[in-house]
Chains A and B, each alone.
Chain A
Amino acid sequence: MASNDTAVPQWQRGRVASWFVTVDHKRIGILYIATAAFFFAAGGIMALLIRTQLATPDTGFIERDGYNQLFTMHGTTMIFLVVVPILAGFANYLVPLMIGARDMAFPRLNAMTYWLFLFGGMVLLLSFFAQGGAARGGWTSYPPNSVYSEGAGQDLWILALHILTISSLAGAINFVVTIHNMRTRGMSWTRMPLFVWSVEVYAGLLIIVLPALSAGLTLLLLDRQAGTNFFVPSDGGSAVLYQHVFWFFGHPEVYIMILPVFGIISEVLPVFARKPIFGYKAIAFSTVAIGFFSVLVWAHHMFTVGMPDVLNGFFMVSSMLIAVPTGVKIFNWLATLWHGNLHFDTPMLYSLGFLSVFTIGGLSGIFLAAFPIDWQVHDTYYVVAHLHYVLFGGSILGILAGLSYWWPKMFGRMLDERLGKISFWLTFIGFNVTFFPQHMLGLLGMPRRIYSYRDDGLWAGYNLASTIGSYVMGVGLLLFLWNVLKARKGPRAGNDPWLADTLEWYTTSPPPPHNFDKVPYVTSARPLYDLRRKLKDRGAL
């Protein structure tokens, strides 16, 4: 432990203090994940409040302004404080271990990104208590509505996002430098774990698009506070301009939130199928292709603003083209199962659940990309269903797969399999009951972001089903929490409980501060598989 290092002053060695001053990528990764989990609970409670209000028609539980603050903060929290940073946490923890490095390239910068994330998140959450309450313009905060919004909430929202943007940008640069420079001997680009590939593209996208968000937010702040009119039409500004700037960031952001999850799935499936990943290069290159196309599709969020046919057509085609590399991944994952020796441990269940529901989210995306169909379903619950199939069914299920998979490595203890499976099924079934009926609600004409609706028979039925599903999902997630708390006393994991393939399983669980005493020379994308086979051939295993 760090206490062996005589350079560390006494006061920094305490059980708590050592976490405050740490620059160890593993500790920072755990801090990221734990903090994001806390924000996930906060955003989840907001979601349950929203679903409770919508359970029946004309409910008076949380109305109008309170409701508008809730859905704004729910979306902003889940995107900026949960999915993106928890993936940064995974990347922090795993990338140096997977590439056989001692730490990230810039450990102090790394620590700074975490503390900025924490403070940015607190600015956002505490804005509920600001004068006038929290922001209430939706996570997209379209002007002119967001410019006219009273109170300090909208300004704090902008401030929080600015802080988080700096954090993400610095973190992304750190990932790129680390991946490019610190791979161990023998680890060429085509021997790199697919999760590391996905982090490379995740970080690259962040570097490309975050400045656009910062620029847009700054102009929005100036419009609110300095009397400028970039987005205010009454004085010659353009409301649509903001949408272009925002979605130039916002759509790649969707892929930022899913690509590392693709990486997680690409790590988990082969281990529990006892097979190599099917088509390593196709999966790696499709990650790059998705990253490339993702910066060309932003205006598919804007089909209803009245763009010329040629732009509508361009953004339809580019959006649909993303389905091709995404389809390649799904088919390659399926083929990875083919003739495998499938073990249904909890990480595998989450991954298979991911495959099933992410496909649904991808397919509903085809409808949305066809712009005349989008004219019908845009800004309805159909979109809400689609984005949750991608972001919950995709990102969150994948993150839960990753947590169950790497928990033994991070803490040296196994999770309870039985509890894990019950938690999975409750979450998976609850998820589908919550979000599948929302497709129907959207097609029936229910717009998103309304706090109340008329009793139209079917609307009431589907909404009630959705609310019941959300409670079931909540119970499932609480069980997951109980499971990880209980794991403090779980059975010890050993170095490599799953007989996995990548370097992080070569060291102890949890790994020492310096990660590895020595790293084996890497001769393929599966160094530990190679090692096990060598030992087996020699009769040592």
Chain B
Amino acid sequence: MPSAVRRPFASTVFSLLVLPLVLAGTALADNAGLTPVEARSPNAQGINDAYGWVSIFTGAIFLLVQGSLLLFIVRYRRRRRARDEDGAQVHGNTNLELAWTIAPVLILVAIGGFVFWKLPQIQDVPSANAAGGRTDVTVEGYRYYWNFEYPNGVIAVDRLRAPVGGNVRLEISAPDFEVIHSWWIPALGGKFDAIPGVVNESWFRADAPGIYRGQCAEFCGIQHAAMLAEVEALPREEFDAWLEEEDRAQRAGTSDLGAETYAGACAKCHGLAGEGDIGPALANNNLVQDAQAVETVVRNGGPKLMPPVGADWEQRQMDALTAYLKEGFGGE
């Protein structure tokens, strides 16, 4: 009899303790997913602090519940007792029950208080004349790419460049013919939905140069998984120089905006080399030679699945794309 009783006990110990420990052991190697990714911006840090604070309480409750569960399973197992032998006929205990009603309330007050205390650090966008300066960028979600516009009118696709140590204010939205997307770069803070007809505000201040990756977090259709985004944090001077140079190049029509737009807005369905995938092949396709025809399709959508991917583009982006198509997929 004892062996039959011990087996569930041994297995319970195994799965409740050993298994998470094994997982935790491998994961702890470089903090891989037991806490949010390392924060590279004050707002992300605020969220991580809140995560840590909540973990203290949830961790304690976890240990309390699982510990007493295991303890009771071992301590009060039937051993040699008959099935009809009563356990303690206790119907309740008002004081105990009050205690485990009130204690959680106090814990929740502690958690809620901490969250509201941290909220300004997470949410409040630094003012325009805050230390480090502020760059305002609009972030627009399209199927299946991100379009950014800087204050000087420079347009970028899928890769947002930002100055290290500089505040970046994001106006996140989507054109009114679009579906809902969600802007999210984990290391630089939480996500906000890009909703047609709604403008959401967020911000970040990257503390080190590098490329921070993320992807669309609201299911938006067939190529949702391909809707990647990244922020490239550049040293201040490098960023300023890039923005100025890009402005000049985009005005002159000599920038890479066409290639960038193709890679972001077209290639996810037509292939990076125009080989075709969800959409028809563009290489050796006569249509792409005709700027007017391209613009019509891009602004109005295609006959089948193709959404109006560039219905509200500025002319400079449209011209950049048509020029790129003409050059890149030129008639051979």
The 4 closest A-B pairs by CB, nearest first: A375-B190, A440-B33, A233-B197, A340-B87
A275 to B86, CA, bound (A): 6
Chain B interface residues toward A at CB < 8 A: 5, 8, 11-12, 15-16, 19-20, 23, 26-27, 32-37, 44, 46-47, 50-51, 54, 57-58, 61-62, 65-66, 68-69, 72-73, 76-78, 81, 83-93, 96-97, 100-101, 104-105, 108, 111-112, 115-116, 118-119, 122-123, 176-180, 182, 184, 186, 189-193, 195-198, 200-201, 213-225, 278, 305, 307
- Using A145-B219, A344-B77 as known contacts, say yes or no to A240 and B305 having CB atoms under 8 A apart: no
Q: A282 contacts B97, CB within 8 Å? A: yes
**Partner among B54, B87, B193, B218 whose Cβ is within 8 Å of the Cβ of A274:** B87
Candidate in B44, B46, B62 with the most chain A CB atoms within 10 angstroms: B62
A130 CB–B CB distance under 8 Å: no
Task: Report A192 CB to chain B, min CB distance, Å.
Answer: 16
Interface residues on A, range: 35 or more
Q: Which residues of A contact B83 (CB under 8 A)?
A: 274, 341, 343, 499
In contact, A428 and B8 (Cβ under 8 angstroms): no
Give min CB distance, B118 to chain A, whole Å. Answer: 7
Given contacts A344-B8, A376-B36, contact A440 B27 (CB under 8 A): yes
Q: How far is the CA of A360 from the CA of B69 in the complex (A)?
A: 13
Say yes or no for A334: interface residue by CB 8 A criterion: yes
B residues near A443, Cβ cutoff 8 Å: 33-37
**Any B CB within 8 A of the CB of A62:** no
Q: A342 an interface residue at 8 Å Cβ cutoff?
A: yes
- Report chain B residues within 8 Å CB of A458: 32-33
Contacts of B115 in A (CB 8 A): 316, 370-373
| Contact in complex: B88, A321 (CB < 8 Å) | no
Q: How far is the CB of B54 from chain A (nearest CB, A)?
A: 6
Contacts of A144 in B (CB 8 A): 178-180, 196
| Contact among A324, A343, A444 with B32 in the assembled complex (CB-CB below 8 Å) | A444
For residue B159, give the distance in angstroms from its CB to the closest CB of chain A. 16
Using Cβ atoms and an 8 Å threshold, which residues of chain B touch A316? 112, 115
Asked whether any CB of chain B lies closer than 8 Å to the CB of A425, the reply is yes
Q: Decide if A48 is an interface residue (CB 8 Å cutoff).
A: no
Contact of B87 among A275, A282, A305, A331 (CB under 8 A): A275
Contacts A378-B191, A444-B32, A447-B217 hold; do A432 and B19 have CB atoms under 8 A apart?
Answer: yes
Q: Which of A148, A313, A338 contacts B179 (CB 8 A)?
A: A148
Taking A279-B97, A363-B58, A436-B20 as contacts, is the C-beta distance between A356 and B189 under 8 angstroms? no
Which of B89, B90, B225 is A453 in contact with, Cβ under 8 Å? B225
A23 close to chain B: CB less than 8 A: no
Minimum C-beta distance from A50 to chain B (A): 13
* Residue A462, interface by CB 8 Å: yes
User: What chain B residues lie within 8 Å of A360 (beta carbons)?
Assistant: 62
How many inter-chain contacts with C-beta < 8 Å in the A-B complex?
289
A293 sits at the interface (CB 8 A): no
The distance in angstroms between the C-alpha atoms of A442 and B217, with both chains bound, is: 11
- Known pairs A341-B87, A443-B34 / 20 extra A-B pairs, C-beta < 8 Å: A145-B180, A145-B219, A238-B197, A274-B86, A306-B192, A309-B123, A332-B92, A334-B68, A341-B86, A343-B83, A344-B5, A359-B66, A370-B115, A375-B192, A376-B36, A378-B217, A432-B19, A439-B33, A449-B219, A451-B225
For A441-460 the 0/1 string (1 means CB < 8 A from B) is 11111011111110000100
Q: Are B216 and A334 in contact (CB under 8 A)?
A: no
The listed residue with most A CB atoms (<10 A of its CB), out of B33, B62, B192, B200, is B33
Q: Is the beta-carbon distance between B90 and A275 smaller than 8 angstroms?
A: yes
- Interchain nearest-CB distance for B193 vs A (Å): 5
Per-position 1/0 for A314-344, Cβ under 8 A of B: 0011001101100110111011011111111
Partner of A445, one of B12, B90, B214: B214
Contact status A367-B54, CB under 8 Å: yes
Question: Within the assembled complex, what's the spacing in Å between the Cα atoms of A64 and B305?
Answer: 14
B111 and A320: CB pair below 8 A? Answer: yes
**Given A375-B47, A443-B34, A443-B35; A280-B27 close (CB under 8 Å):** no
Which residues of A from 508 to 537 have beta carbons under 8 Å from B? 532
Q: Determine if A304 and B76 form an interchain contact, defined as CB atoms under 8 angstroms apart.
A: no
Residues in A whose Cβ lies below 8 Å from that of B91 = 276, 278-280
Q: 8 Å CB contacts to B: which residues of A152-205?
A: none
A421 within 8 A of B: yes
Residues of A that sit less than 8 Å from B by CB: 64-65, 68, 136-138, 142, 144-145, 148, 150, 233-234, 238-240, 273-276, 278-282, 304-306, 309, 313, 316-317, 320-321, 323-324, 327-328, 330-332, 334-335, 337-344, 349, 352, 355-356, 359-360, 363-364, 366-367, 370-380, 421, 425, 428-429, 432-433, 436-437, 439-445, 447-453, 458, 461-462, 465, 499, 532
In the bound complex, CA of A306 to CA of B104 (Å): 29
Contacts A/B (CB < 8 Å), 5 sampled = A148-B179, A342-B76, A372-B115, A376-B186, A445-B215
Give chain B residues whose Cβ lies under 8 Å from the Cβ of A137: 219
Q: How far is the CA of A461 from the CA of B73 in the complex (A)?
A: 33
Contact A376/B190 with A304-B182, A339-B76 known, Cβ cut-off 8 Å: yes
A339 and B200 CA atoms in complex are apart in Å by: 55
Among A275, A428, A441, the one with the most B-chain Cβ atoms within 10 Å of its Cβ is A275
Which of B11, B32, B85 is in CB contact (< 8 Å) with A425? B11
Among A238, A282, A352, A375, point to the contact of B191 (Cβ < 8 A): A375
Bound-complex Cα distance A288 to B124 (A) = 39
